[in-house]
Every structure is written in C-alpha cells, then in structure tokens.
Amino acid sequence: MHLVINGRFLAQPVTGVQRYAREVVAAIDRQLPRHPGWTAEMLVPRGVAAPALHNVATRAVGRLHGHAWEQFELPLHARGDVLFCPANTAPLASLLSRLAVTVTVHDLSYRYFPAAYTRAFRAVYNTVIPAVMRRAARILTVSHAERGQILLHYPGAADRLAVVPNGGAPDVPAPRRDALEALKPYLLYVGSFSRRKNFDGVLALARRLLAEREELRFVFVGGTPEVFHQVDRGGAAHPRMIFAGQVDDPAELLPWYRSAEALIFPSFYESSGLPPVEAMACGCPVLASDIPALVERCGQAALYCDPLDGEDMLRKARLLLDDPALRESIVQDGLRRSGAFTWERCAEETMEAIVAAAGPRARFRGDTSPAPPRPVPGHAQGEDGA
C-alpha cells in the first residue's frame, strides 16, 4: 500500500498548523518500518526545501505554487492508494476521486473570526473545507472541543471524524542560549500576532506589567503571516519589549521557554495549542485563557484567566510572578501532564486513521489477511484527550 503525503505545508509560513505537519510527518517517517507492506512519499512544490527523512521519500513535482499547486498539480501526481493532507486543505479532484483521503482539519477559526483572515483565505476555505467534510474518507482534528464545534456545522461527518491530540515538545537537543539569561526575568508570548490570539490584549498586559515592574521584560516570539490581517504594533514600542521574530526550529524555541518566568497564552480561540504543552515540558508555568480547548489540553497544569477581562489577566500574571509556591505547583503538574502528549502517539493514531481510510485493501502491522475497516480512532478517548 502506498501513502502520498501532501507536502504543501513546507512552502507555508510556520504557524501551529505547519509545526504540527512537520512533527507528525517526521514521526510517521520513524514509524513506517512498523507497517510492513506500506511505502510512502511526500510530494512538494518545486523549489521547496524538504526535511531529511529516512523512510518517506520526497519528490518535487509541478510548476505551480500555493493553492494552485495543491488543487491542479498534486492530484495528477498523487497516484498512491491513500493521500494524507496534514494542514487543513486537500485537492478537490482527489476528494471526488476514488483515492482514499485523510485530512487533519485543525479548526474552523476562519468561520468564527473572519476579520482575522484575508478575503482570499476565507474564500478558499469556504470552498475546500465543506468538500473535505463531505468527501474525505477520514477526518482528524486535534481536540474533543474542536470536534464538537465541527459537528455543529457538519453533523454528517460524525462517523469519519476522529480526535488525535497534538504532540508536545519535540524530543530534540536544545542549544545553550546563555544570552537569554541576561534577559531574565521575562514573560513570554509564542504565537502569531493575530486577533484571535488576543494579541492586542497581550500587548496591553505587557505595557501594564512593564510599567509597574522595572526589572521585567516581555518577549514576543512569532509574527503575522500574510493570511492574517496585520495587527498594528505601532503602540507597542517599549525598551523592555523584545520582538524576537519567527522561530521555526523547535530546538531554537525551547531555550526561550526554559528561561521564561511564564508563558502568557490568553487566546480567544484555539483548537488545541502547541505552546502551552511545549512550555510545560520545559518547566515553564503557563497562564492560559479558560476556553474549552486549552482547559482540555492543560488540565490542572495551568493558571487560567478570562481573555476578555484585562484586569483578570493582570491579576493572574501577578500571581505567577509573585507566588513561588503556586509557580512550583504549576511547573510540577505541567511536567507530568506534558508527558501524555507525544508526537509518536499522534503519528501512531494518525496512521491508524490512514489505514482505516484504505479499507480492506490495507495490511496493518504485518497482518497477511485483508484488513477490515478499522473503527475511527479517538472516539472513545477521555475528556482531556490524554
């Protein structure tokens, strides 16, 4: 059985979706030898730098880029039995064909926060996502909270929609960043500078905390991809606000967590959220918004705030800075909880869904008899997805 992976994500700016795609594909590459009878390749647009993989071949195809490459050229070359699309979208031609397609749909935020996205982005998603929900053999999403939201709009996808939680911090050696020690103490924000991330609220919080604490700094790691409406940072100038830019290499990101006093993550909307678990794994306490997906993700291992209430955000940030016992409790809970979220588990459950999409043609883990369709993984997981 041959698996084709849609590698368009490698040509996109790196946000949480692309980081998920990179990590889950790398983990599938490590696990592929455990699936006898399966081969895999990742197709990418020409000119795109691809990671070095051992078991998943990489092939550059076509002449186009972006959505045009995905919609018109990828289907011509995706001749395998199964197509996996890890970054929300899939070619309509493949969905309409007999090709078994598995798609990870991370969230429907473009519906809930349309002002945060460009018109072109919304137009594509309003066309492709409904087709995915109708035609994909298997659909994955990253939390029970998001599954519930998706089913409000697409109840017909229920028997094909599985929950496969994201992994956490990658198991990679992180470089020493002694220069970060000179910045301490600092609070950290990691993510895109978008409205649904409550970036304006984070800026307001940073200004208030810096005004009352002369020793404190506030570090922002991330940027604003073109698909998002740009957020005005004009009023953000402050000598102790540090904009570190986009950090695409997970190993380079981990030292920022390890030296921070806390991660500030008060999003209005998340389907899962990578930074909180990455911070937990690094011993960095987390202040997160009390929205369902983050409560599902973090459990008792975070301090929660109301993202709509600037005073509550300020009170909770002060608690994390001023209460050593509370900080230590959250750190220890976070270290334990982060161990439940691994990319190996994410890849294993993703491969189960891919095998299920292939149906009776597939062979799984050395089984020499035709494999029956497998139940959708993730249906019977606990409330916290762990």
Question: How far is 161 from 136, CA to CA, in rounded Å?
Answer: 10
pTM for the model stands at 0.86
* Same domain, yes or no: 194 and 163: no
Per-state percent for the chain, helix, strand, coil, to nearest 5 = 45, 15, 40
* Same domain, yes or no: 110 and 212: no
Phi, psi of 121, rounded to the nearest 5 degrees: -60, -45
* Same domain, yes or no: 157 and 216: no
366 inside domain: no
* Same domain, yes or no: 188 and 329: yes
* Same domain, yes or no: 150 and 200: no
144 inside domain: yes
Please identify every stretch of the chain with a pLDDT value under 70, giving residue numbers as ranges: 172, 174, 224-236, 360-386
pLDDT at res. 279: 95
Q: How many domains does the chain have?
A: 2
* Same domain, yes or no: 50 and 163: yes
Inter-residue contact 253 to 190 (CB < 8 Å): yes
Question: How far is 159 from 137, CA to CA, in rounded Å?
Answer: 10
Question: How far is 281 from 285, CA to CA, in rounded Å?
Answer: 10
380 inside domain: no
371 inside domain: no
pLDDT at res. 226: 45
* Same domain, yes or no: 123 and 188: no
Partner residues linked to 42 by β-bridges: 5, 58
pLDDT at res. 205: 97
3-state secondary structure of 113: coil
* Same domain, yes or no: 137 and 279: no
- Domain with 325 in it: 178-338
* Same domain, yes or no: 310 and 197: yes
pLDDT at res. 246: 87
CATH number at residue 267: 3.40.50.2000
* Same domain, yes or no: 121 and 212: no
Inter-residue contact 186 to 242 (CB < 8 Å): yes
Which DSSP symbol is given to 385? -
pLDDT at res. 137: 96
